[in-house]
Each structure stands twice: as structure tokens, then as C-alpha cells.
């Protein structure tokens, strides 16, 4: 089937505009778009009974181990809600960092849609520890308290930091010893894998993670994430929960084909490694500038910094990016698979100019 020409006057946006606001701002990777086009011909059985989703199941087993179960979904919020619902009964609660996406950026979806209680723990770097988990992991058997039955980790975290394999194993051992299950929000799982330089199963299934939200959209996909039950006995009802939570794609082949494009030749790791490298380049370019205070380690594709009064607003007239904590003038700069060295260098030069004003 021949691809149609773009409508007259398209694209509607200026494709030369670049920014550092979010890795969701980037388009889809050309290889992902090619995979979608290739998967588009003819008819395939709907609701996941297609050749692409079957192939994706095999790819996930190759990554994480035999017996894991893959459930493609539309988005990250859906992946997290479905995952947590499968681990926790209606009277259960989930311990997470206060900065976790499920706690801050999902508009109460875990509570309203999932029926879950979130028990947030403040952390300096977005990372939980066994000791921090124990601040909320108590009260079992108390009918007046939501029962802490799961822990949710983010790898890499919302603050751009990364758990080591040892840190993750310590957490899962601690949680499992208390009868708690462990979910990993892996919206930027690829960035963690590229940064750690170890097989992804080493810090997921082999480290004791029970269920994973495997991110694709922030790493070059047009849309879609995947719930991966790493311990199929720990997760319950995923087939039904995915449908109930409006995350069952009728034309699922188009989610699965995108993941296959990322996974089959290592594109997911190459793209994430590039995004990480661009963030490291940006950090190196701004680290010594007078007035710039870096606030977190740069261990993935994000840089966090405090800027002098007025600098961020002036700089935003040239490049899009977000405040992280406006009260302390802290900003976040994100790189993606298509960020170039020239993008980084131009941004750093613009920052120097604004600081000099």
C-alpha cells in the first residue's frame, strides 16, 4: 500500500524548533515509523491476537526470562495503574517516593481509577531505600490503616537519578520479607539500562522486581508502553484489568510493532545512550557557569539546576523547558533520542548570554 502524500501546507509546525522541556516533545524515531508502515498492510486479528504481539512476547522473554507476560497498553499512566492494581487488593496501599510520577503527575489516577492508597515518602534524590520504605511500611492487621502491600520504584527516577543493581536487590529483598510486592515504573527504563551497562534483566527480573511498566514513548515510539509481569504469580487479573482500565488496543499490532522496532536490533539502547550522552554534554557545558547550581546527579537524560532570578524566563523565550521547583528557581532540562550536539551547544551558549545580562 503506497503511502499518501502529506496534506497541502503540512507540517503545521516549524520542524527546526528545538527544546529541552521533555523527551515527550520529540517525534517518533524514523525506524519506528517505518515499522508502523510495514505493519499496516492487510488484515491482522485484533485485540492482541496478531503476529506482532506474539513476536513481542517472545522478545520480552528473551529480555527478561522465560515465563514473563507482556501486555501492551496505550500510555504510562495506564501501565502504572494496571500494574499496581494487579499487585494490590482494594484495601492495599503502595509505598512510593513523594516525587514519583504516580504521586505527582497522574492526576490521582492510581487512587481514582485504581482504588489504591499511595503512601509517599520524601527523598532527597527520588530514590527509595529500605529505611525510607519502613517509614510507611507498618500497621499490618490494623483495620484503620490501608495495608502497605507494594512498593513502587522509578528507574530512572523523576530526578534523573538511577538505582544500582545492589540498591534494587536490597529493596526487593526487604519488601518481599515484609510480604510486599515491587513495581518498577520504567518510563525511562532504556536510559537506566544504557547507563548501567548491564543486561536489563539484571536490574529487573533477576533483582526481584515483580512487575514492570516498560516505557516506549519517551524513547522514540509514537505511542504505547508495555506492562511486563516479571513474576506472573505475583500479578493477578492483568487480562481483565487492561480492558477495564481502557488500555486494551483493538489494533494492538501498531503498539507491538513499535516495540519490535526498538528491541530487535538494539535501537532502544542506542537511542537512550545518545540521550544520556547529550545530557552529560549539557551538564559539562553549564557546570562551571557562575550562577548555575546543579541540584542532582546526571545519571540519565535530565539535568536539574537552580538559576538566578529572571534567567529561566528569558531563556525560555528561545528554548522551551519547565520549572521543576519554581519556588527555589529550579529547572529541568531533558534530552531525547534526537537531541544533537549542536542543540546542546546552542542552548548552553544562550544560557551564558542570559547569565551575562
pLDDT tens profile 204-227: 999 999 999 999 999 999 999 999
Q: What is the mean pLDDT of residues 288-298?
A: 96
Q: What are phi and psi of 152, to 5 degrees?
A: -115, 125
Q: Is residue 69 a contact partner of residue 228, using CB atoms and an 8 Å limit?
A: yes
Residue 70, Ramachandran bin (φ over 0: left; ψ between -120 and 50: alpha; else beta): beta
Split at pLDDT 50, 70, 90, the class of 3 is low
Its pTM stands at: 0.96
Split at pLDDT 50, 70, 90, the class of 2 is low
Q: Is residue 95 a contact partner of residue 137, using CB atoms and an 8 Å limit?
A: yes
Per residue in 162-207, pLDDT (tens digit) is: 999 999 999 999 999 999 999 999 999 999 999 999 999 999 999 9
Give residue 4's pLDDT. Answer: 73
Split at pLDDT 50, 70, 90, the class of 28 is very high
Torsional sign, CA 339, 340, 341, 345:
negative
Q: Is the pLDDT of residue 289 over 70?
A: yes
Q: Is the pLDDT of residue 159 over 60?
A: yes
Give residue 5's pLDDT. Answer: 83
Q: Is residue 122 a contact partner of residue 163, using CB atoms and an 8 Å limit?
A: no
Give residue 74's pLDDT. Answer: 98
Q: What is the mean pLDDT of residues 290-310?
A: 98
**pLDDT averaged over every residue in the chain:** 97
Using alpha carbons only, what angle is made at residue 353 by residues 307 and 158, rounded to the nearest 5 degrees? 35
Q: Is the pLDDT of residue 305 over 70?
A: yes
- Is CATH 3.40.50.1370 what the domain over 267-356 is classified as, yes or no? no
Residue 153's closest CA among 237, 59, 83, 231?
A: 83
Give residue 307's pLDDT. Answer: 98
Q: What is the mean pLDDT of residues 12-39?
A: 95
CA atoms of 357 and 115, how far apart (whole Å): 51
Domain ranges of the chain: 31-263, 267-356
Give residue 225's pLDDT. Answer: 98
Fold of 31-263: 3.40.640
Residue 230 vs residues 5, 70, 233, 261: alpha-carbon distances, Å = 43, 9, 9, 22
Amino acid at each position: 500500500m503506497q503511502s499518501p502524500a502529506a496534506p497541502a501546507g503540512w507540517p503545521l509546525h516549524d520542524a527546526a524548533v528545538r527544546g529541552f522541556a521533555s523527551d515527550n516533545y520529540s517525534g517518533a524515531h524514523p525506524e519506528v515509523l517505518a515499522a508502523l508502515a510495514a505493519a499496516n498492510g492487510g488484515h491482522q486479528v485484533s485485540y492482541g491476537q496478531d503476529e506482532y504481539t506474539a513476536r513481542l512476547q517472545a522478545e520480552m522473554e528473551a529480555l527478561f526470562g522465560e515465563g514473563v507476560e507482556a501486555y501492551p497498553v496505550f500510555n504510562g499512566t495506564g501501565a502504572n495503574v494496571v500494574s499496581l492494581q494487579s499487585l494490590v487488593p482494594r484495601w492495599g496501599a503502595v509505598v512510593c517516593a513523594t516525587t514519583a510520577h504516580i504521586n505527582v503527575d497522574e492526576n490521582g489516577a492510581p487512587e481514582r481509577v485504581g482504588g489504591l492508597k499511595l503512601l509517599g515518602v520524601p527523598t532527597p534524590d527520588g530514590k527509595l531505600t529500605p529505611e525510607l520504605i519502613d517509614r510507611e511500611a507498618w500497621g499490618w492487621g490494623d483495620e484503620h490503616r490501608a495495608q502497605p502491600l507494594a512498593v513502587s520504584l522509578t528507574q530512572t527516577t523523576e530526578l534523573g537519578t538511577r538505582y544500582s543493581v545492589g540498591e534494587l536487590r536490597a529493596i526487593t529483598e526487604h519488601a518481599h520479607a515484609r510480604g510486599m510486592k515491587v513495581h518498577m515504573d520504567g518510563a525511562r527504563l532504556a536510559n537506566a539500562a544504557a547507563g548501567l551497562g548491564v543486561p536489563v534483566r539484571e536490574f529487573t527480573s533477576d533483582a526481584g522486581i515483580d512487575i514492570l511498566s516498560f516505557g516506549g514513548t519517551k524513547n522514540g515510539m509514537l505511542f504505547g508502553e508495555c506492562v511486563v509481569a516479571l513474576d506472573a504469580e505475583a500479578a493477578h487479573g492483568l487480562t481483565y484489568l487492561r480492558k477495564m482500565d481502557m488500555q486494551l488496543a483493538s489494533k494492538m499490532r501498531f503498539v507491538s510493532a513499535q516495540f519490535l522496532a526498538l528491541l530487535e536490533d538494539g535501537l532502544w539502547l542506542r537511542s537512550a545512550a545518545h540521550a544520556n550522552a547529550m545530557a552529560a554534554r549539557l551538564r559539562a557545558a553549564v557546570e562551571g557557569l557562575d550562577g548555575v547550581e546543579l541540584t542532582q546527579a546526571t545519571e540519565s537524560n535530565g539535568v536539574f539546576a537552580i538559576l538566578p532570578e529572571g534567567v529561566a524566563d528569558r531563556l525560555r523565550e528561545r528554548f522551551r523547558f519547565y520549572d521543576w521547583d519554581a519556588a527555589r528557581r529550579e529547572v529541568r532540562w531533558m534530552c531525547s533520542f534526537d537531541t544533537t550536539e549542536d542543540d546542546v551547544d546552542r542552548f548552553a551558549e544562550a544560557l551564558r548570554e542570559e547569565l551575562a545580562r
